Structure 1
Amino acid sequence: MFSQMLQQALNEKAIRPEDFSELMIRLLDYGIINRDESQVEANLYDRYLQCQDLVDDYLSIIGVRIEHDEQFCFVRLYPPGASAPNLQDAEHSPFNQGFRHRPNQMEMALILVLRVEYEKSLREGLVDDKGCVLISMEEIAISLNNLLKRKLPEGLQERKQLFRNLRQLRIIRFNSDSSSEEAENWISIQPGISSLVSHDVLAQLDPESQQSEAAQLNERSETEGGRA
């Protein structure tokens, strides 16, 4: 019965069952689709927009939650029971089972540092029109040491694998095809980084972010009060 209803709904949207299946498999396998990542993901993201209600209903049955960032065009899944910083109701490889991939300690440390650096760049207006931030490897190393007293892996291959793992989470971009160390001198932090670190955790690492948010709220309150 459910399959017949799904088939009928797909027919109404002019989407083939195999195309819907491809979209669902990709989402569940990677855990994220980012339109700017590749032509393949651009096509899948556009297909998601065509049948967003069907995808949402389908995944809600198994308790999977969806974050859809319309500004930066990405869709991220959260397993049942997982905490999602940008979703209000927290109750409700390809990449090594990316959907359920749990970053190791080094990956998590780097994610936290990248989130702090991303927030700093937001405050300084150093964000491009796609919401990305360019940062040097030297800045990352310094921030990692200052905030968490950690160091990046010394070996080139180990370091490249670390950043490849974060790239699979669609939170950074870098030239992973080159074998030269210079190719990793710059990293592009993607806006999806915001969905992995809550504001509470960010405030503990970077108190300025909390002050900035409070200042914005005060400014908004004063503006609304003036209008009243």
Structure 2
Amino acid sequence: MLTETIEQQLEKENMSLSEFQELLIRLLNYSILCRSESQIEQQLYDRYLRISSLVNEYLQMIDVRVFHEPRFEYIRLYPPSSQVPGMEEATQTAFSGSLRSRLSQQEVALILVLRLQYDKALREAQVDDQGYATESFEAISIAMKNIIGRTLPEKPGERRQLFNRCKKLRLIEYRNEDDVLKSESWLKIHPMIVSFVNDEALQALESPAEQSAARENPDLLEAISSSNDEAE
């Protein structure tokens, strides 16, 4: 019955059920669609625009929320009980699954620093027309040490893994894998970072007192991570 209703709606847009399924599977598996990322994501993003109401209604049945940023052309899914930018506070519901991803303390630290550096670039009008902020890996390393009291991993493999994690979350872009090992190389911080890190987590590191607490008490990062689990 539900399938027939969906097919009727899809027929109005000259779209097949398999195309609808492909879009949903991609969203649920990755929870992110960024039009500029690849040709495949461009096609899926444009497909979403054609049937956004149907996709949103379908996902709403399982309490998965869709955050769409048309200016920067990306979509992110949020699992139940997550705080979604621009939406009312979510109700508390039990949930565990592929949408929710537990971040390590090191990942939380880096992501918070990326958000702070992005906000700084915004204040200084240092973002490009697509909303990206450009920072050197050296600047990120210095900010990590000054704000969080942590250093980036010394081992090349661990450092690559840390930055690759953020890249998979579409929070940053850089050209080559080995760029993360070169202080003079540059990365671009995606405007998606603003919707990924909620204001409560950011406020935990905005004052000198809180920065000092984060340096002296690593468990603060664990608390931030626990209260700010995000969609992958």
Task: State the TM-score, normalizing by the size of structure 2.
Answer: 0.82
Residues 132-171 of structure 1: CA deviation (Å, up to 9, x unaligned) = 0110011101111111101100011211111111111111
Q: Give how far 1:207 is off.
A: 5.0
CA deviation after TM superposition for structure 1 residue 197, in Å: 1.4
- In structure 1, how many angstroms separate the alpha carbons of the residues matched to 2:157 and 2:164? 10
Report what 2:166 is aligned to: 166
- The structure richer in helix per residue is 1
Name 1:55's counterpart in structure 2: 55
Equivalent residue number for residue 143 of structure 2:
143
Give the number of aligned pairs: 204
Q: Which residue of 1 aligns with 2:211?
A: none
Residue 134 (1) aligns with residue 134 (2): yes
Q: Which has the higher contact order (CA 8 A, sep 6+)?
A: 2
How big is the shift at 1:178? 5.0
Please show how residues 85-104 of structure 1 align to structure 2 within 5 Å.
85-91=85-91, 99-104=99-104
Q: Distance in 1 between matches of 2:199 and 2:180?
A: 36
Secondary structure, counterpart of 1:205 in structure 2: coil
User: What residue in structure 1 maps to residue 118 of structure 2?
Assistant: 118
Residues of 1 paired with 2:111 and 2:179: CA distance? 23
How far the C-alpha of 1:184 sits from its partner, in A, is: 8.0
Q: 1:179 Cα shift? A: 7.6
Structure 2: stretches of 5+ with no match in the other structure = 209-232
Counterpart in the other structure of 1:67: 67
Q: Which residue of structure 2 lines up, in the alignment, with residue 39 of structure 1?
A: 39
- Give me the whole-angstrom Cα distance separating, in 1, the residues matched to 2:138 and 2:103: 22
1:148 maps to a residue whose letter is: I
Q: Secondary structure at the match of 2:192?
A: helix
1:81 Cα offset (Å): 1.4
Distance 2:106 2:5 in 1: 46
The aligned residue for residue 220 of structure 2 is none
User: Where in structure 2 are the equivalents of 1:195-206 lying within 5 Å?
Assistant: 195-206=195-206
| 1:109–1:88 distance in 2 versus 1, CA, 3 Å | same
Q: Quick check: 1:132–1:190 contact (8 Å CA) kept in 2?
A: yes
Deviations 1:153-212 (A, max 9, x none): 00112111111111111111112455883498211100110112122332342359xxxx
Structure 1 Cα separation of the partners of residues 139 and 179 of structure 2: 21
Structure 2: how far apart are the matches of 1:107 and 1:87? 25
Q: Give the residue type in structure 2 aligned to 1:51.
A: I
For the 8 Å contact 2:159–2:181, the answer to whether it is kept is no
* Ranges in structure 1 where 5+ consecutive residues have no aligned partner: 209-228
Partner Cα separation in structure 1 for residue 200 and residue 86 of structure 2: 12
Mapped to 2, the partners of 1:183 and 1:175 lie a distance apart of: 14
- Report the Cα offset of residue 127 of structure 1: 0.3
Change (3 A) 1:177 1:16: farther
Cα pair distance change 1:186/1:70, threshold 3 Å: same
**1:175 paired to 2:175:** yes
Which deviates the most, 178-187 or 154-163? 178-187
Amino acid at match of 1:172: I
Residue 12 of structure 1, CA deviation: 0.7
Identity of aligned residues (%): 42
SS of 2:19's equivalent? helix
1:38 Cα deviation after fit = 1.1
